[in-house]
Every structure is written in C-alpha cells, then in structure tokens.
Amino acid sequence: MGVLFVPALGSVLWFTVFGGTALYQEIHWGVEMANTIRETPESGLFLMLGQLPFGLILSIAALVLITIFFITSANSANKRSNKWTPGVHPSPVEKRPFPKPFIICIRGCLEA
C-alpha cells in the first residue's frame, strides 16, 4: 500500500508547495513568471527558487536532486534490462553503484 500512496502523496505535496509558492510570488510579489515559463518551461523551477531567500543555494540543491533522480533512473533501467536479457551477465564495471549511468547523464548534458 505504501508503494502506491507514498509517491502519490509526495507528488501532491510537491505540486502544492511549489505551485502555490509560484502563484503567491506572481500574485502578491508581482514577479512576472507566466510569460517566461510559457516560453521556456524548464526555467520555471529556478525562476521561482531565485525569488526566495538563499535562492542560489536552493537552485543548486534542486539541480543536485534532479541529477540524482536521473542517475538513479538510468541505473535502475540498466539493471532491469540486464536482468530481462537472457544470457547477459553483468561485467565488473556494471556491478559498481553508478558509473555507467553517471557517464550516460554527463554525455547527454554535454551533447545538449
């Protein structure tokens, strides 16, 4: 049951807190975010965090958390695909915690 409800509750909490903060900044502080987010949606989180105290620290923390999310997702996908592929045994490099997904994420960032 927790596997179903904890991620859903986390998502609801995430959208409520961050969406509510962005709306509050737009309505009460007069920060013009809607047009900027419409043009570049990926800047919305960092635009909202930049208006808060310690905005730079919060933006760096958000970037680290997003990076950890992508590395974990790539690592999980790699492990699942190795398990489902018959006759494939993980090499010693693939037994390490995260070097391959980390390299994949860095390569994708550099190519973008």
Kindly report which listed range (19-28, 74-83, 87-96, 99-108) carries the lowest average pLDDT score.
87-96
In whole angstroms, what is the distance from residue 59 CA to residue 48 CA? 9
In whole angstroms, what is the distance from residue 47 CA to residue 108 CA? 23
SS3 52: coil
In whole angstroms, what is the distance from residue 21 CA to residue 88 CA? 48
Q: Check residues 105 and 64 and name the one with the higher pLDDT.
A: 64
pLDDT digits 0-9 by tens, 54-86: 999 999 999 999 988 888 888 777 777 767 766
Closest to 94 in 3D by CA, of 86, 53, 102: 102
